[in-house]
A and B are shown apart, each in its own frame.
Chain A
């Protein structure tokens, strides 16, 4: 074969190849105009809808902008008991009174925790968030993660209670706000998850009918009743269950109710994973001569749990939101703190502003989790979609 270099040189000399002129595609299939046509005005129905709905949406958005930004009041004179909210009252709902957030955000985040010690729950909240981020990273998914959890939760306990290292002791009744919400959710999760795995295994067991029945009874009973009834049970019936003179505090009782509740729901998710695992995995493990716990711990659970991570995260989200129900039995979580912040006569009637603020906090946590779960789902399913 002749080297193409010389051939190319000769052809370039002799034959003149005109530079290709790039024709732009017609405006009807390319560019912003075409995009509008395809996505907003593709048919009569679509056009009518876009116009009507777009008009309503713009009007509503402008109204909201007026309320939230233009007419809003960001601070009011005075503080504490001497606060003067007449400027906010004069608005009569035409604008938001964000001053209530400026005045009350410490209360909403930390509740009745002593003002000078509020750096402690603040650090706890940061630790919780750090713990979530570490647990979300796949490179940390190994045995040491359990130790990290144990260590962090211990540090959080020490910080919240105090009484050592020169920190003032703060009784549990004074805790409140976001810290309580995160404590209920995290400790609840940490205890409910192992419980759920055991219950799911029990419910799947074929050789132990009595254990299976107990597990079915537990799961179905808990899932058939609302969380509120369990919380009521924790707040009014629990004291009757304990021997005379023994008493455990309200937060712990609510925590137990939440653990029992979450355990039943998580157990069903885990059971789904156990069922989805091909039978061959069980048989292969048996053929290797592994004992039940070896088989479960080394073969079954690692695969089954990976299968159900997305629904597990969704259950965590639901469960995080459900911690707000402790409001009904009077525990000072984020939502209760928000609701209490507007009890003071000066701030009465500014519920919408406070609820928007609290909703934003809940939303940030839940939205982060749900986005994470969606990403994880595509990542874990990558091998299936070749």
Chain B
């Protein structure tokens, strides 16, 4: 086919157009009429709805516009990553909602990917017990609605004893119906420097590994990568940390009166939401990973083994790059699903953007603006995730001739 069209003699020649004739037998005319009709109907419906809305707003004396964002919110927020008091504006309250959504979505994506990958690989294991257990895990968890799972975990966390009888599995960790209390490292400047040293070390390790690749390409001998990489990423930060006096004080939670003082808190709402999201989504990720690995033909494993690659290398250099091509597109939509599903937080009282926008909407009566904000936030997040994943997908895509 393509060979034939490449030949100039057979090149498709479009008949010269004489412009559109106003006859029903002209396909162009028909398509224009249909389009005008359909678009007209849609516009008419939208116009009808908008005019109704405007009329209703007038009747109910609701002022439109986003002016309410600057007003004092007066809504209490239990958990926030930035400072907040009820006297702050609605805008700040909504921003906290966005941050809380991002917090649970990003944590959820990372943990669900790790667990899901392990479960997916486990399902392919030769160990019968592991394979059966992971199969049951996947089949059961993905067939139960997420909202139900959230309510279930929340009910379990609520059934934990009160702060005075808190469970105390490890020193400094308390489990109670007020959430999980964990020790917190007292953050000092030295820790920032250590973190910076780690980042620099990581960049150095990447550069070193690239240099090793070049050496291998030139000489055929690959220098050992890991000792220097390990030194850069572990030893260097540790040295920096020691040089700065090795600060190591922990803020331990302790029971004072009826509640805990100090330490970091993971609220029951956050834990229930995270547990539900991670467990539900990891079942889907497991299936994606499994089908990705199964999609690599068996001959690829055999060929790699025949070349004498070690099993780690087979996985890393041969199987994974091919499996990733199958895995990435469905993984993208799963990540988008986690983000969108985090909106179920509103059912258990975790204050994400939907929850805060909903409260705002009830307090101010600005229904249209409130819902517009929710949609805008999610559209932005969805678009960013899919842009990033598309970029990553393009990077690992098969380079064809």
Contacts and interface: CB of A to CB of B under 8 A. Distances in A.
A351 B127 CA distance: 36
Contact of A225 (B27, B128, B378): B378
B174 to A, nearest CB: 19
Given A225-B379, A240-B52, A352-B159, A232 B126 contact: no
A242 B52 contact: yes
B378 A232 contact: no
B382 interface: yes
B383 A46 contact: no
Interface stretch (A15-23, A49-57, A114-122, A301-309): A49-57
B396 interface: no
Contacts, number: 156
B310 to A, nearest CB: 16
B57 interface: yes
Contacts of A241: 49, 52-53
A359 B148 contact: yes
Interface in A324-371: 324-325, 327-328, 335, 339, 349, 351-352, 355-356, 358-359, 362-363, 366-367, 370
Q: Which of B34, B145, B149 has the most CB of A within 10 A?
A: B145
A211 B130 CA distance: 51
A210 B147 CA distance: 38
Interface stretch (B9-17, B88-96, B313-321, B339-347): B339-347
Contacts of A367: 139, 143
Given A40-B128, A93-B159, A237-B367, A362 B145 contact: yes
B232 to A, nearest CB: 31
Interface string A235-269: 01101111110000000000000000000000000
Contact of B127 (A40, A221, A352): A40
Interface stretch (B111-119, B150-158, B195-203): B150-158
Contacts of B341: 226
B129 interface: yes
Given A214-B42, A224-B379, A237 B371 contact: yes
A339 B128 CA distance: 38
Contacts of B282: none
Contacts of B66: none
A229 B343 contact: yes
Nearest to B49: A241
A317 interface: yes
Contacts of B383: 224
Given A226-B343, A229-B378, A241-B52, A49 B35 contact: no
Contacts of B128: 39-40
A49 B158 CA distance: 33
Interface in A41-63: 42, 46, 49-50, 53-54, 57
Contacts of B42: 214
A49 B145 contact: no
B261 interface: no
Interface in B314-363: 340-341, 343-344, 346-347, 354, 358, 361
A207 interface: yes
A233 to B, nearest CB: 5
A103 interface: no
Nearest to A323: B145
B22 to A, nearest CB: 17
Contacts of A355: 148, 151-152, 155
Interface size class of A (residues with CB under 8 A): 35 or more
B274 to A, nearest CB: 17
B52 A243 contact: yes
Given A240-B368, A241-B52, A359-B144, A208 B340 contact: no
Interface in B192-215: none
Contact of A335 (B38, B53, B142, B148): B148
Q: Would you call the interface of chain A mostly helix, strand, loop, or mixed?
A: helix
Contacts of A207: 27, 31
B276 to A, nearest CB: 12
B145 A225 contact: no
B375 interface: yes
Contact of A237 (B31, B133, B347, B368): B368
A351 B341 CA distance: 22
A232 B371 contact: yes
A367 B346 CA distance: 27
Contacts of A208: 31, 34-35, 38
Contacts of A39: 126-129
Contact of A240 (B127, B152, B367): B367
A211 B34 contact: yes
A220 to B, nearest CB: 9
Contact of A228 (B39, B159, B344, B379): B344
B147 A317 contact: no
Nearest to A369: B143
Contacts of B57: 240
B230 interface: no
B39 A214 contact: yes
B148 A325 contact: no
Nearest to A268: B333
B347 A46 contact: no
A374 to B, nearest CB: 10
A322 interface: yes
Given A226-B340, A237-B371, A352-B152, 15 more contacts: A42-B127, A208-B35, A208-B38, A214-B38, A224-B379, A225-B375, A232-B354, A240-B52, A335-B148, A335-B151, A355-B152, A358-B148, A359-B144, A363-B144, A367-B139
Q: Which 3 A-B pairs have the closest CB atoms?
A: A351-B155, A366-B143, A39-B128
